[in-house]
Amino acid sequence: MQHILFLCTGNSARSIMAETYLNHVGRDRSRAWSAGSNPADAPNPLALETLKNHKIPIAAGVTAPSSKSWNDFAAENAPLMDYVITVCDNAAAEACPVWPQTTGKAPIGLHWSFPDPAAVGGGVEERRAAFEPVFAAIKTKIDRFIAENRAYQNRAPR
Is 56 inside a domain boundary? yes
Total-model pTM: 0.90
| pLDDT tens by residue, 9-65 | 999 999 999 999 999 998 788 999 999 999 999 999 999 999 999 999 998 776 788
**What is 27-39 written as a DSSP string?**
GGGEEEEEEESS-
- CATH number for the domain spanning 114: value is 3.40.50.2300
96 phi/psi in degrees, rounded to 5: -80, 160
User: Which positions are annotated as active-site residues?
Assistant: 8, 88, 96
5 touches 107 (CB < 8 A): yes
Give how many domains the chain has, as a whole number: 1
Q: Is 157 a member of any domain?
A: no
Q: Would residue 58 count as lying in a domain? A: yes
Residue from 2, 3, 1, 24 nearest 138 by CA: 24
Q: Residue 60 falls within a domain, yes or no?
A: yes
| 36 within domain boundaries | yes
Which segments of the chain are extended strands (E)? 2-8, 30-36, 83-86, 108-111
In a domain, 158, yes or no: no
- For 39-49, how does the pLDDT look when each residue is reduced to its tens digit (9 = 90+)? 999 999 999 99
Task: Tell me the residue range of the domain where 105 lies.
Answer: 2-152
